[in-house]
C-alpha cells in the first residue's frame, strides 16, 4: 500500500507540473489573480479522502490518516514551491504562522482545560435532559465561543447518554446547535463575527440576528426533542441506568479560571494593538503572540493542577486533538489556492460568482455554501469587503462600515448567518465539528461518515431549515 501511495503521489505531482509551468512565467507576489480553479484539486483530494477512505479502507485510515494528509500536502507543495519559489514559501509560512498554529493552540488549550472539568452525578439521557444540555450549550457558545462550549459540554452529554443505544442523532444536533448556530450573538462566538468586529462592526450589532438565531435554535430543538423521544421509546429496558440518584457535582472547578483566561486572551488580541514582529518574512502582531503564549500557559497550568483521576473520569486521551492536528495541517496547506482565489475577488477565477452576488439571499447561500467546505472566516471577510466595494465605492472603510450596518442590515445579517450557521453542513465547516466527532468516536459512538453526516442529517434537516429561513428573513 505504501509503495502504491508513493507512486500515485509522484504521478499526481507531475500532473501539476505542466500547468504550473505556464503560471510560473507570470511569477507574482499576488497569486490570487493567477491561480485557476484546478489548483484547488489537492484540497478537494484531502476532503474526498476524509470522506471516502474511512468507508472503503477503515483499517488503513485508522493507522495511516497522518500519511494521507502529508500525501496531499506534498502533491500541492512540491510543484508550488518549485515554480513559485519565495512567493510560495511565503504563502505556506503565512498560513502556518498566522492561521494554523493559532488555530491548533486555541483548540488544544480548550481541549485540555475542558478535559479537566468533570461534571458528575445522575444525568440520565432523557429527551428533556438532552434538550436542556443542548439549550445551555447554544446559549454559552455566544459568550465562550463555539469551540469552548463544545469542549465543555461534549463529555457530559456523552456520559449522560452512554447507556443508550440510539445517540448518534444527539451528537449531530450538538454539532448543529452548540458547535455552530449558538455562536452567532457576539463576536466571541465564531471567528467570522470577530473579524467583522475588528473591521468596525459594533460588538453588539450581531444581536440583530437574534431572531434568526432563535428561529433556527427553536426549530432544531423541537425537531431534536421529537426525534429523541421517538428513539427513547425504542431503547432496550435493560439498558436503562441504575435508578439510584447521585447529586450533580463539578470536579476541577478551578479550570473555569483557565477557560475564562482563554476567552480573555482572545479578546485581548482583538482589542489591543502593540505592533508587529517579523518571522521568516511574515509579520505577526505582538498581541497575537501574547495571546498564543497565554493559551499555552492556560493549557499547561490546567494539566499541572488537575488531578489525574479527573482526567481518568473524563476518559481524557490525546487521540482526538492529534487527529484534528494532523488532518487540518493538510487542509490548511492545500487550502492556500482556494483562499488566494477568494481574496482576489473579482480578479480571481471565481470572479463570475462574486460579481453575480447581489441580494441578501444570494449572499446567504454563497457565503454559506463556501463556508461549509472552506474556512468561514476568510469567506466572510471576502464578501464583507465585496459589499463595501459594491455599495460604497471610494468611501473609507470606517465610514463605509458605519453606513453598511444601518443601510444594509439584511446583507450583513446574510453573510453573518451564512458563515456561522452553514458551518454545520459538514464536519469541516467549523473547527469544533471535527473535534466533537473525534471525541464521540473515542467514546464508542459510531458517528456517520463525511457524506453520511450530510445525506442523513445536514441535507434533510439543515438545508430545509435554511430554505425556510431564506423566505422568512432574506
**88-143 pLDDT per residue, tens:** 888 888 888 887 888 788 878 888 888 888 777 667 778 988 999 999 999 988 88
Q: Are 134 and 178 in contact (CB under 8 A)?
A: yes
Q: Is the pLDDT of residue 451 over 80?
A: yes
Residue with cell 452548540: 178
Q: Are 178 and 149 in contact (CB under 8 A)?
A: yes
pLDDT for the residue 9: 54
At 401 the three-state DSSP class reads helix
**375-424 pLDDT per residue, tens:** 677 678 778 877 876 777 667 767 878 888 888 889 999 999 999 999 99
pLDDT for the residue 25: 46
Give the pLDDT mean for 284-300. 89
Q: Cell numbers of 376, please?
A: 468561514
Contacts of 105 (CB under 8 A, 6+ apart): 292, 295, 296
Phi, psi (degrees; rounded to nearest 5) at 142: -75, -15
Give the pLDDT mean for 222-227. 95
Q: Cell numbers of 328, please?
A: 487540518
Neighbour count for residue 70 (Cβ, 10 Å): 17
Closest C-alpha among 8, 132, 133 to residue 68:
8
- The Cα–Cα gap between 88 and 84 comes to 5
Q: Cell numbers of 359, please?
A: 441580494
Range with the poorest average pLDDT among 48-62, 343-357, 418-432: 343-357
Q: Are 336 and 389 in contact (CB under 8 A)?
A: no
Phi, psi (degrees; rounded to nearest 5) at 315: 55, 45
The partner residues of 250 in beta bridges, in order of sequence, read: 119
Closest C-alpha among 68, 43, 114 to residue 321:
114
Please state, rounded to an integer, the average pLDDT across all residues of the chain: 82
Q: What is the CA radius of gyration of the chain?
A: 22
CA distances to 186, 195, 198 from 201, rounded to whole Å, are 11, 9, 7
Q: Cell numbers of 129, please?
A: 435532559
- Taking the CA atoms of residue 447, residue 450, residue 451 and residue 457 in that order, the dihedral angle to the nearest 10 degrees is 50
Amino acid at each position: 500500500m505504501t509503495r502504491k501511495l508513493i507512486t500515485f503521489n509522484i504521478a499526481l505531482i507531475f500532473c501539476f507540473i505542466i500547468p504550473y509551468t505556464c503560471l510560473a512565467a507570470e511569477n507574482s507576489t499576488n497569486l490570487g489573480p493567477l491561480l485557476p480553479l484546478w489548483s484547488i484539486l489537492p484540497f478537494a483530494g484531502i476532503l474526498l479522502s476524509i470522506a471516502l477512505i474511512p468507508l472503503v479502507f477503515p483499517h488503513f485510515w485508522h493507522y495511516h490518516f497522518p500519511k494521507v494528509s502529508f500525501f496531499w500536502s506534498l502533491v500541492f507543495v512540491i510543484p508550488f514551491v518549485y515554480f513559485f519559489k519565495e512567493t510560495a514559501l511565503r504563502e505556506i509560512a503565512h498560513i502556518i504562522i498566522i492561521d494554523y498554529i493559532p488555530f491548533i493552540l486555541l483548540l488544544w488549550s480548550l481541549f485540555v482545560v475542558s478535559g479537566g472539568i468533570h461534571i458528575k452525578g445522575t444525568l440520565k439521557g432523557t429527551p428533556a435532559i438532552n434538550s436542556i444540555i443542548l439549550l445551555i450549550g447554544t446559549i454559552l457558545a455566544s459568550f465562550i465561543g463555539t469551540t469552548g462550549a463544545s469542549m465543555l459540554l461534549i463529555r457530559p452529554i456523552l456520559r449522560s447518554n452512554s447507556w443508550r443505544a440510539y445517540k448518534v442523532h444527539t451528537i449531530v444536533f450538538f454539532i448543529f446547535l452548540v458547535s455552530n448556530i449558538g455562536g452567532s450573538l457576539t463576536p466571541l462566538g465564531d471567528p467570522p463575527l470577530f473579524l467583522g468586529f475588528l473591521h468596525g462592526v459594533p460588538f453588539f450589532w450581531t444581536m440583530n440576528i437574534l431572531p434568526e438565531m432563535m428561529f433556527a435554535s427553536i426549530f432544531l430543538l423541537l425537531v431534536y426533542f421529537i426525534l429523541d423521544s421517538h428513539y427513547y421509546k425504542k431503547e432496550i429496558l435493560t439498558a436503562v441506568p441504575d435508578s439510584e440518584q447521585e447529586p450533580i457535582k463539578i470536579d476541577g472547578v478551578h479550570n473555569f479560571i483557565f477557560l475564562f483566561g482563554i476567552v480573555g486572551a482572545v479578546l485581548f488580541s482583538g482589542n489591543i494593538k502593540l505592533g508587529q514582529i517579523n518571522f521568516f518574512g511574515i509579520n505577526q502582531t505582538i498581541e497575537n503572540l501574547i495571546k498564543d503564549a497565554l493559551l499555552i500557559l492556560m493549557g499547561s497550568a490546567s494539566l499541572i493542577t488537575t488531578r489525574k483521576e479527573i482526567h481518568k473520569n473524563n476518559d481524557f486521551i490525546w487521540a482526538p486533538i492529534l487527529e484534528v492536528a494532523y488532518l487540518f495541517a493538510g487542509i490548511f496547506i492545500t487550502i492556500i489556492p482556494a483562499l488566494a482565489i477568494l481574496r482576489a475577488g473579482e480578479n480571481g477565477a471565481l470572479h463570475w460568482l462574486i460579481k453575480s452576488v447581489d441580494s441578501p439571499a444570494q449572499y446567504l447561500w454563497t457565503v454559506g455554501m463556501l463556508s461549509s467546505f472552506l474556512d468561514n472566516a476568510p469567506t466572510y471577510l471576502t464578501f464583507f469587503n465585496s459589499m463595501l466595494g459594491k455599495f460604497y465605492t471610494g468611501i473609507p472603510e470606517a465610514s463605509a462600515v458605519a453606513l453598511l450596518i444601518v443601510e444594509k442590515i439584511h446583507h450583513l445579517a446574510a453573510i453573518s448567518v451564512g458563515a456561522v450557521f452553514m458551518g454545520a453542513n459538514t464536519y469541516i465547516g467549523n473547527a469544533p465539528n471535527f473535534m466533537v466527532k473525534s471525541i464521540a468516536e473515542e467514546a464508542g459512538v459510531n458517528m456517520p461518515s463525511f457524506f453520511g453526516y450530510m445525506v442523513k442529517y445536514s441535507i434533510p434537516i439543515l438545508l430545509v431549515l435554511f430554505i425556510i429561513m431564506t423566505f422568512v428573513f432574506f
